Amino acid sequence: MFCLIGTPVGHSGSPAMYNYSFAQTGLDYAYLAYDVPLEKTEEAVNALKVLGCKGFNVTMPCKTRVAELVDELSDAAKLIGACNTVVVKDGKLYGNNTDGMGFVRNLKENGVDVKGKKITVMGAGGAATAIQVQCALDGAKKLSIFNRKDKFYANGEKTVKKIQQMVPDCEVSIHPLEETDALYAAIKDSDILVNATKVGMKPLDDQSLVEDVSVFHPDLVVADAVYNPKETKFVQSAKAAGCKVAVGGTGMLMWQGAAAFNLFTGKDMPTKEVYELFFK
């Protein structure tokens, strides 16, 4: 048995995606979703161990708590301070975070390698932190983080410190998103520009954080973490401005699931079929 924990989980597409993939791969496994509030996280994790669960995904609000409960954390999960995938082996819990892996893999599928690249990331929440950490671990040369001066800004400052300690070769800094001139200068100097804020997601789907589209240069790779809608205003305007690659968040979502499937089973998810059935 595998499962998802967190709340709400009733809307999640994960059970359908994993159960289909298990069947296609010839694995006699089942994937369920359990609604677990934050204060019940520890009890739920202990129960899953007793029940012989082989692995589980974690969604909000339990990701940070689970990172405190596992026996071992991957480098990415340690830096991010949150787990979205846990493998149970011989009674021990191994915590991972596949969000950033999904982001990097999706870019790779679009012909883009983050190694040696200058990357501007707007956002300092969960998705942004995972992207920033994985890009640093995978050899990004420079990371410029921009976030508005809200409660997430301090989290961005922490991420900068952690990356400086663990990945000293990556030049990393954070700036207020309100400093538009600094943002546009960073974009002009970047190979890759990422939106990992909630801007662009419903109900903010009529907005983009880049209002002056003249900063979208043709060599710029543009990626959004937002997958609802599939193509945000940010991605649409980058495409219209002629950016060579401009992708929405759907690919990141599928590839983080594929990375978790691989950790759970040691096998590859049938991503072509999964994409056609669940993400197109």
Active site residues: 63
In terms of Cα–Cα distance, which of 86, 106, 140, 129 is closest to 227? 106
- Of the candidate residues 17, 58, 210, 226, the single one contacting ligand NAD (CB under 6 A): 226
- Of the candidate residues 73, 86, 114, 127, the single one contacting ligand NAD (CB under 6 A): 127
Please, are residues 190 and 119 in contact by the beta-carbon 8 Å criterion?
A: yes
Under the binding rule (CB under 6 A), the answer on residue 123 touching ligand NAD is yes
Please report how close the Cβ of residue 121 comes to ligand NAD at its closest, in angstroms.
10
Under the binding rule (CB under 6 A), the answer on residue 227 touching ligand NAD is yes
Q: What is the CB-side half-sphere exposure of residue 80 using CA atoms within 13 A?
A: 34
Please, are residues 98 and 57 in contact by the beta-carbon 8 Å criterion?
A: no
Under the binding rule (CB under 6 A), the answer on residue 193 touching ligand NAD is no
Stretch that binds ligand NAD, among 26-34, 72-80, 126-134, 165-173 (CB under 6 A): 126-134
- Of the candidate residues 3, 167, 201, 274, the single one contacting ligand NAD (CB under 6 A): 201
Please report how close the Cβ of residue 162 comes to ligand NAD at its closest, in angstroms.
16
Stretch that binds ligand NAD, among 119-127, 160-168, 180-188, 212-220 (CB under 6 A): 119-127
Please, are residues 172 and 145 in contact by the beta-carbon 8 Å criterion?
A: yes
39 conformational bin, left if phi > 0, alpha if psi -120 to 50, beta if neither: alpha
Under the binding rule (CB under 6 A), the answer on residue 152 touching ligand NAD is yes
Under the binding rule (CB under 6 A), the answer on residue 101 touching ligand NAD is no
C-beta contacts of 262-265 below 8 A and 24+ residues apart: 263/55, 263/85, 263/87, 263/96, 263/98, 264/2, 264/54, 264/55, 264/85, 264/87, 265/22, 265/25, 265/27, 265/29
What are phi and psi for residue 232, nearest 5 degrees? -80, 170
Under the binding rule (CB under 6 A), the answer on residue 99 touching ligand NAD is yes
Please report how close the Cβ of residue 154 comes to ligand NAD at its closest, in angstroms.
11
Under the binding rule (CB under 6 A), the answer on residue 100 touching ligand NAD is no
Q: How many other C-beta atoms lie within 10 A of the C-beta of residue 96?
A: 23
Closest to ligand NAD by CB, 59 vs 88, is 59
Under the binding rule (CB under 6 A), the answer on residue 128 touching ligand NAD is yes
Q: How many other C-beta atoms lie within 10 A of the C-beta of residue 94?
A: 18
Binding site for ligand NAD (CB under 6 A): 99, 102, 123-128, 147-148, 150, 152, 196-199, 201, 204, 225-227, 249, 252-253, 256
